[in-house]
Structure 1
Amino acid sequence: MMPAKASAKFVRISPFKMRQVANLVRGMNVNQAMSMLKLMNKGAALPIYRVIKSALANATDLANEQNPVDVDRLFVATIRADEGPTMKRIRARAQGRAYRVRKRTSHLFVELGQK
């Protein structure tokens, strides 16, 4: 089976927070990872869940008679949360000062393999 891939770009969550969740599901069975992400109380869990679901759909779409896909044998082979562009904003502070607020984004890449 060819590895099934999916990605999400410009996700409005910092890469640090995204990697905390990504490290938990790396190497996990797909069904187990998706059920864990559904119950997880982290903001990064929903985008990761959606990308894994998309990769699973890509895997079933790529399947044919020569390369059948057993969904129970799929696992998260690669998951990467890279840094996207940072939006810079200004926060007004006391006495005419201004603080810079960095709104970070992430690029998420998932690849599913078969055991």
Structure 2
Amino acid sequence: MANIVSSATIRHLRGSAQKARLVVDLIRGKKVGEAQWILTSTKKYAAAPIKKLLNSAIANAVDKDPAVNPDELMVKTVFVDEGFRMKRVRPAPMGRAYRVQKRTCHITLQLAAITAGEE
């Protein structure tokens, strides 16, 4: 069982949690270098903020313990929670109005050190 080295959170990210989960599922359990490569080559809107979040978690790990080697870290836990919804009104025919919900989400990412048995 690997122990958690660092974590980072992004809150109120514009975009639905369902769409962000598609990107997050690609990197769960991967090594940090591989996860960065996957996020760079993914053409989803949420990939850029998640890559920025991953880099922040790596920086947190190095800042917390300078002896940590970033190449020996893996994405242990990453999950997406639903945030608040901005409710807006869109004009509709015959004087009516349609409700539009602009969704947000919260993403939490935790890194762990790779042990000999987990490679």
TM category (shorter chain) comes to: over 0.9
Deviations 1:24-55 (A, max 9, x none): 10001111101111111000101110110000
Count of matched residue pairs: 112
Runs of 4+ in 1 over 4 A off after TM superposition: none
Q: Percent identity?
A: 41
Output aligned runs, 1:46-85, within 5 Å: 46-64=48-66, 68-85=67-84
Unaligned runs of 5+ in 1: none
Matched, 1:109 2:108: yes
Amino acid at match of 2:93: A
TM-score between the two structures when normalised by the length of structure 2 = 0.90
Q: Determine helix, strand or coil for the equivalent of 2:26.
A: helix
Q: Which has the higher strand share?
A: 2
The alignment yields a C-alpha RMSD, in angstroms, of: 1.1
Amino acid at match of 2:95: G
Unaligned runs of 5+ in 2: 115-119
TM-score between the two structures when normalised by the length of structure 1 = 0.93
Deviations 1:45-101 (A, max 9, x none): 01110110000000011114xxx3122220100111101100000111101111111
Between the aligned partners of 1:93 and 1:2, the Cα distance in structure 2 is: 50
Between the aligned partners of 2:91 and 2:31, the Cα distance in structure 1 is: 47
Between the aligned partners of 2:40 and 2:26, the Cα distance in structure 1 is: 13
Output aligned runs, 1:38-49, within 5 Å: 38-49=40-51
